[in-house]
Amino acid sequence: MSEIRQMNMIQAINSALDVSMERDENVCVFGEDVGFYGGVFRATAGLQEKYGKTRSFDTPINECGIVGVAVGMAAYGLRPVAEIQFADYIYPGLDQIVSEAARLRYRSAGDFTAPLVIRTPSGGGIFGGQTHSQSPESIFTHICGIKTVIPSTPYDAKGLLIAAIEDPDPVVFFEPKRIYNGPFDGHYDNPVMPWTKHPASQVPEGHYAIELGKANIVREGGDLTILAYGTMVHVVLAEVEAMGVDAEIIDLRTLLPLDIDTIEASVKKTGRCVIVHEATRTSGFGAELSALVQERCFYHLETPIQRVTGFDTPYPHSLEWAYFPGPVRTRLAIEKAMEDVSGDI
């Protein structure tokens, strides 16, 4: 049985990569500053020293090339894990993801597959402004053939990343960088809770996998259901505890495939639903969740579904903590869901 070690999310991701590379010589890790330096957030630190320059290496600043190389490697039997330094930089590689990675199994009638993972830090909270803070996850949930994963804890990050690496199809793995070193409650001036005080920082050192497509009920309740993922899981959990509401909080973990059965069962039980995500509102993943809940739970809903999201603006630098769906807007949404008052938050 694996020993348990306390890890933050960066350490858990590093551990997942290490375990996967040790178990399978076909797993290789690469990207901008990934090899020698160990990544801008140090998630790949030590891997080149341990496994050599052919399995952990640096690439040019060319996201299209990074993804294209990963597709080719995957088609020929390797298990590439490509890092895009920030999610904001993933767009030059979008054509390769959509036209090649997602389609390869289908266009070749199963003769070739693309078992690759694209890791990328996403979201705000570090004053990165509009070029280092985007949350483009909904773009990838729209692409048939791509799985989309967003962890919220070190334990989940390791288990989900190992599962993604072992998956036979391409996975885009978003890492909420605001919680790399610890969860937070959405208040800028509050101290960040270190992962050392969180139970989900107790991570097995060895191999384990968390099945993709399975949500996690992080808090059970009967008054309303709150759907969240990534950083926002911690924001809503803190606010629910502060309000004393008997809310059931579901961490989606995997957006595609989506665990709609867990969502449906919860909303039918509570009759109320609040959806919280950091990405912009229009065409955000919350819209898809709202539609699914409405289709499946219409006769059980006591109040309109509420969405709390980022604003439909480029990500601000100095005002990003106002942009965040923080405690104030989360509280208003919960109150509206409980009081049968409709409207946008």
How far, in Å, CA of 172 to CA of 161, rounded?
10
Alpha-carbon distance of 325 to 198, in angstroms, equals: 22
pLDDT at residue number 1: 58
Average pLDDT, the chain: 94
Compute CA 19 distance to the chain's CA centroid, rounded to the nearest angstrom: 20
pLDDT for the residue 313? 87
For range 237-252, the mean pLDDT: 96
Q: What is the pLDDT of residue 2?
A: 80
* pLDDT tens-digit map of 187-234: 766 656 778 888 899 999 999 999 999 999 999 999 999 999 999 999
Number of domains in the chain: 2
141 found inside a domain = yes
pLDDT average, residue stretch 262-281: 97
When pLDDT is averaged across residues 128-137 and rounded to a whole number, the result is 89
Give me the long-range contacts of 31-37 (CB less than 8 A, separation at least 24).
Answer: 31/58, 31/59, 31/66, 31/82, 31/83, 31/84, 31/85, 31/119, 32/58, 32/59, 32/60, 32/61, 32/66, 32/83, 32/85, 33/58, 33/85, 34/58, 34/59, 34/83
**Residue 192: predicted pLDDT:** 65
CATH number at residue 328: 3.40.50.920
Sign of CA dihedral 85, 87, 92, 94: positive
Boundary residue ending a domain (204, 236, 266): 204
| SS3 of residue 83 by DSSP | strand
Residue numbers of the domain that contains 276 = 216-339
Whether 234 is a known active-site residue: answer no
Query: Is the CB of residue 273 less than 8 Å from the CB of residue 305?
Result: yes
pLDDT at 39 over 70: yes
Share of the chain above pLDDT 70, in %: 97
Final residue belonging to a domain, choices 204, 229, 248 = 204
Which of 132, 198, 234, 277 is labelled catalytic?
A: 132
210 within domain boundaries: no
pLDDT, one tens digit per residue, over 52-107 is 999 999 999 999 999 999 999 999 999 999 999 999 999 999 999 999 999 999 99
189 and 240 co-located in one domain:
no
CA distance 231 to 306: 18
What's the rounded Cα separation, in Å, for the pair 228 and 169?
25
